[in-house]
Amino acid sequence: MALETHTLLVLPAAALLLLIYIRRAAKRHLPPGPPPLPIIGNVLDFPRKHLGREFRELSRQYGDVVYLEVLGQSVVILSSYSVASDLMEKRSANYSDRPQSVMVNLTNLDWIFVFKDYGQEWRRYRRAFHSQFQPAMVEQYQGIQRTVTRNLLRNLLETPERFSYHIKFSFAATILRITYGVTLTQGDTTYHQLVQKLAHIAEDISTPGRHAVEAFPYMLYLPSWAPGGGFKRLAAKWKKDLVAIRDQLYNSAKEMMDKRGLHECVLTRMTAAGEDEEMVRNVTATIYAAGADTTNASVHAFILAMAMFPEVQHRAQAELDAVVSPDRLPELDDQAALPYMRALVKEVLRWHVVAPIGVPHRSVDDDEYNGFNIPGGSIVFVNAWALSRDETMYADPEAFEPARFLRDGELDPDVMDPATYIFGFGRRICPGKIFAEASLFMACASILHAFTISPPVDEKGVPRKMDVDMGNHLAVSHPEPFDCRIVPRDARRAELIQANTAS
């Protein structure tokens, strides 16, 4: 009897010791990273200003797979293309989910399908999104891209000092026409303001560390009026704002369609295909928000680069003059004959990574990689900014040098195309990738063919030194506001712009 009692006492203790041993053994096989502090873990190691750069510093110390524990949450940072490809592409079934977010749940932001959990509904939304941006569909959008880009040139000719507004307006107009069939008239800021507000809210919510409730979920029990409960008031306001923006975009277009018909667009095609109204509202607003904000950030970076690096500008203009000639404006069909211009666009994407760490993924189950254990439920970041600065792929990565993508006057297939990592990985890759690249090429080639871009001058006419200031580099990176001069290359180009402007 005494032996049985002793056994009953020993077995649970042994089981507990075994469990502790297993957990400690698993932790010994976690990827390397800075040692965590009690309770808070690696909170103090988490970046504050420049996520890409600060995560890259951790990877230089600990390797291409870095592990952090932030208030009990496992965080894994991937900082090389080979590792990102191994996990995000080859094991995409395990790494296609999104982390749980309190603010996403409170605002119902997952109607933007980039925030949706991986599952059946996400797949349905993705199919709908993909169907509108297949290569054949993107070709049909070329006429719209051409018209809007040439109107952009006219606006730059008339009021070049407002170049930032003109660029934002241009991309809002393109996406609005493609998505909702609505032609945006010059001076109409309504739709642009809507997309700016939508993008601001989405960016704020997706920025790691922005809201304390993500790290301390117990704050959900705080009343909205209590100290620390302000996030609830903000979330309630944003929830209303987000739905109002989405519905205003949809309802105004639907009203036009019912009254006088719309141009063929995403909305009309999805409606004709019998898609349910809720999904049409959600998908169209997602397309508009994503397409109108990210590419305009890249074009701002292009303008900045041209003002800073005149030798690059002159070489691209020489190629454009030789291939396109001063008698017409560039077309997307010219791309094959413009290798330096194509390399320049690739360098813009690499030099200024719009989403430095992309949108975080979540591991569904425990995984083993190169002897390390990646726990299920980990938040996984791919540091796209670090990939863009990988010295094994790009010599002198901080320099702006399009020629790095060329060999013998043609694009070098052995140099990593930044489009392979800046648009995401695996099943979560951006379905608008082809369209975004086409839009960026059309804008950059057209602007360079028509204008000379240079630094602003001081009161004595001396060019001012321009510094690279790409903003805080958190979830989405926009260049900080800057000044520059944009003037027609000659009178002939000015006439060409006027002759090619849509009425």
Write out the DSSP string of 440-489: HHHHHHHHHHHEEEE--B-TTSPBPP-----TT-SSS--PPP---EEEES
Place of tokens 């409730």: 213
First to last CA, the chain: 99
CA dihedral 344, 405, 476, 485 (to 10 degrees): -20
Instruction: Quote the pLDDT of residue 22.
Output: 45
H/E stretch holding 310: helix 310-323
461, 118 contact by CB (below 8 A) = no
CA distance linking residue 114 with residue 423, whole number of Å = 12
Closest CA to 453 of 32, 124, 153: 153
Give the start-to-end residue ranges of the domains of the chain: 29-100+356-388, 110-355+389-500
CA distance linking residue 503 with residue 491, whole number of Å = 21
CA distance linking residue 499 with residue 410, whole number of Å = 33
Return all residues near 193 (Cβ < 8 A) that are at least 6 apart. Answer: none
298, 440 contact by CB (below 8 A) = yes
H/E stretch holding 361: strand 361-362
Sheet holding 73-78, edge to edge: 65-70, 73-78, 379-382, 361-362
pLDDT digits (tens, 9 = 90+) for 365-401: 999 999 999 999 999 999 999 999 999 999 999 999 9
Query: What are the binding residues?
Result: 430
342, 335 contact by CB (below 8 A) = yes
CA distance linking residue 444 with residue 464, whole number of Å = 23
Joined together, the tokens standing for residue 172 give 């809002």
Task: Determine the Cα angle at 166 with ends 243 and 257, to 5°.
Answer: 45
Residues counted in the chain: 503
411: helix, strand or coil: strand
CA distance linking residue 447 with residue 445, whole number of Å = 6
Query: Domain 110-355+389-500's class?
Result: mainly alpha
444, 341 contact by CB (below 8 A) = yes
407: helix, strand or coil: strand
CATH code of the domain occupying 29-100+356-388: 3.30.43.20
Instruction: Quote the pLDDT of residue 28.
Output: 59
Closest CA to 125 of 134, 135, 116: 116
Q: Report the DSSP beta bridge partners of residue 453.
A: 486
Return all residues near 289 (Cβ < 8 A) that are at least 6 apart. Answer: 112, 195, 198, 199, 202
CA distance linking residue 403 with residue 415, whole number of Å = 11
Instruction: Quote the pLDDT of residue 12.
Output: 47
433-450 and 277-308 helices, crossing angle to 10°: 40
Instruction: Quote the pLDDT of residue 379.
Output: 93
* pTM of the predicted structure, to 2 decimals: 0.89
Query: What are the binding residues for heme?
Result: 430
Joined together, the tokens standing for residue 198 give 């939508």
Q: pLDDT tens digits, the chain, 503 residues: what are they?
A: 444 444 444 444 444 444 443 444 445 599 999 999 998 899 888 887 788 999 999 999 999 999 999 888 999 999 999 999 999 999 999 999 999 888 999 999 888 888 889 999 999 999 998 999 988 888 999 999 999 999 999 999 999 999 999 998 898 889 889 999 888 777 667 777 787 788 788 888 877 777 888 878 888 888 888 888 899 999 999 999 999 989 998 998 888 877 766 788 999 999 999 999 999 999 999 888 877 777 888 999 999 999 999 999 999 999 999 999 999 999 999 999 999 999 999 999 999 999 999 889 999 999 999 999 999 999 999 999 999 999 999 999 999 999 999 999 999 999 999 999 999 998 999 888 999 999 999 999 999 999 999 999 888 778 888 877 665 556 678 888 899 999 999 999 999 999 887 64
CA distance linking residue 31 with residue 380, whole number of Å = 12
H/E stretch holding 379: strand 379-382
Task: Determine the Cα angle at 62 with ends 59 and 63, to 5°.
Answer: 60
Task: Return the CA Rg of the chain.
Answer: 25
380: helix, strand or coil: strand
Instruction: Quote the pLDDT of residue 13.
Output: 46
448, 306 contact by CB (below 8 A) = yes
Instruction: Quote the pLDDT of residue 47.
Output: 83
Instruction: Quote the pLDDT of residue 202.
Output: 83
Place of tokens 């006439």: 495
Place of tokens 């569904």: 364
